[in-house]
Amino acid sequence: MNALGRHLVADFHGCTADLNNPDVVTQTLEKACEVAGATIISRTGYNFSPYGVTAVIVIAESHLAVHTWPEYGYAAVDLFTCGTSVDTWRAFEFVKSAFGATRVEVKEMPRGILSQSEMAAANSYTPIDCRPAAA
């Protein structure tokens, strides 16, 4: 199977970390990027009132995102990476441990599954140079 990316979608229950603190959630994702070998492009976090955080790390290889419900000790975790340089499962294990999840449900989905003809077409792709000609 020829897949362009790996997408882990997980439910973390029984979390003991401070899931209502956007710094804690964002820093956890940043460290997950580091241990997995991802390249951070940008980051954002938002604290909802009265509870909950959304944090997203955009990486060169796609993204890591978390949405939390601290009142339930729950985090929805979304880790999507492309290519072969990032270890998505290392990021997953880091976030699971950092959040102190006691029960986890995770699904792995290959993304961008290509047929043989699509692979062949991509291998023969020549990008167009749209830069203006030198004067």
Query: Which positions are catalytic?
Result: 62, 67, 82
User: CA–CA separation, 22 vs 85, rounded Å?
Assistant: 28
Collapsing DSSP to helix, strand or coil, 18 comes out as coil
Collapsing DSSP to helix, strand or coil, 99 comes out as helix
Q: What is the number of alpha carbons within 13 Å of residue 107 lying toward its C-beta?
A: 5
The dihedral region occupied by 83, where left means phi > 0, alpha psi between -120 and 50, and beta the remainder, is: left
DSSP string, 120-133: HHHHT------SPP
Helix then strand then coil, in percent of the chain rounded to 5, is 30, 40, 30
